[in-house]
Amino acid sequence: MRKLVALFLWPALGLAWAGNLSGQSQPVSTDPPIADTPFSIHQISPAHGVTLGKGARVGILDHSFDLDSHPELYAGGRGFWNRGSASEDAGDAHRGYWMALTLRAVAPEAHIFALGVPPRAGKLRAEAMAKALEWAAGNHLDVVTYCGADLSPAEREILDPAVEKAVEAGVVVVFVGYSHPLNLLPRSFGPPLIEGGRAPDLNIFSYECTAMVGDEVVTLIEADDDAIRRNRPFLGRSSVGPVTAGLVALVKSVDPHASPGEVKTLLVEASRPLEFQGRLEPWVPDAFEAVRKAVGTRAGRPF
């Protein structure tokens, strides 16, 4: 199996918010430095001073997790399609592995579960995702995320009831491009887009998941390796799900009893309007403000 070397960027806090953490911020006009990542824009580094996500259980629905090569990254894994195992790859694309690395950077002490589902659209994918959601609820996962291709109406007929049952069981569902009202819907920075009749709940800065180094990987890119070319998640929607799920993990680690609805409300209320490269992003979550609010919410719960 090819080996990927991933280098995460842990920048200084390069982007300021207007106002302060106790009041509503105003949009900030900024010409961001190259170092801007979710750590600066979403205030993740300050949030890590409160929690690293310890105890939170996060499932990633994807494929190609490199589970055999990187078992230390995962708390467990299971396949839900006819390939039979989350450790098996689909075209050596490394998608699930990239997602797990991104999530681990946002919530370093969360427990990550590799939930293998097919890469191609269709009934098989929808059925596998529904089974994965049932497994997630039965195994007390806090959040599951999916960042693959958009779901067709036929797939939605299979998946929607499973999502509703999972949310009822306490699982926060973070599916990119999925308009179900119970879904915590994130979207990357960019032109306004109404997905399936509703606006996104959160605007997430797309993360360059890996700064790929090493002669072998450089050779693959220069050779236009098909799997690398088709599945590089650089600054794409593939990073939006695990970043959002990581924010959920930080909140749940502080307030484990928060319901999916409470988590969504908390993250939305902890969001700020931000003018980024001349475009207003209305709901940019602030991780530090979110965990601060979660601490206060937990303090008010009866024991």
Q: Is the pLDDT of residue 207 over 90?
A: no
Q: Is the pLDDT of residue 204 over 70?
A: yes
Rounded to an integer, what distance in angstroms lies between the CA atom of residue 301 and that of residue 303?
Answer: 6
As given in the structure block, the two tokens for residue 273 are 């309007």
pLDDT range class, residue 237, cuts 50, 70, 90: low
pLDDT range class, residue 83, cuts 50, 70, 90: low
Does residue 15 fall inside a structural domain?
no
In this structure, how many other beta carbons lie within 10 angstroms of the beta carbon of residue 152? 15
CB distance 109 to 14 below 8 Å: no
Does residue 23 fall inside a structural domain?
no
Does residue 149 fall inside a structural domain?
yes
For 85-96, what is each residue's pLDDT tens digit?
555 544 445 778
Q: How far out from the chain centre does Cα 246 lie?
A: 6
Rounded to an integer, what distance in angstroms lies between the CA atom of residue 11 and that of residue 87?
Answer: 32
Does residue 229 fall inside a structural domain?
yes
CB distance 281 to 203 below 8 Å: yes
* Beta bridge mates, 211: 7
Give me the domain span that covers residue 136.
37-295
Rounded to an integer, what distance in angstroms lies between the CA atom of residue 256 and that of residue 56?
Answer: 8
As given in the structure block, the two tokens for residue 124 are 């098989």
**Which residue, 276, 300, 298, is CA-closest to 37?**
276
More confident residue, 126 or 193: 126
Rounded to an integer, what distance in angstroms lies between the CA atom of residue 293 and that of residue 260?
Answer: 15
- Of the chain, the percentage scoring pLDDT greater than 90 comes to 48
Does residue 3 fall inside a structural domain?
no
In this structure, how many other beta carbons lie within 10 angstroms of the beta carbon of residue 229? 12
Handedness of CA 212, 217, 223, 226 (dihedral sign): negative
Report the CATH number at residue 191: 3.40.50.200
Q: What is the mean pLDDT of the chain?
A: 78
pLDDT at 86: 55
- List the beta strands (DSSP E) in the chain: 5-7, 29-30, 57-62, 76-79, 111-116, 143-146, 172-175, 186-188, 202-204, 211-213, 271-276, 279-285
For 101-146, what is each residue's pLDDT tens digit?
889 989 999 999 999 998 887 899 999 999 999 999 999 999 999 9
- List the beta strands (DSSP E) in 23-154: 29-30, 57-62, 76-79, 111-116, 143-146
Whole-prediction pTM value? Answer: 0.80
Number of domains in the chain: 1
Does residue 73 fall inside a structural domain?
yes
Does residue 175 fall inside a structural domain?
yes
Q: How far out from the chain centre does Cα 180 lie?
A: 17
Does residue 233 fall inside a structural domain?
yes
CB distance 184 to 173 below 8 Å: yes
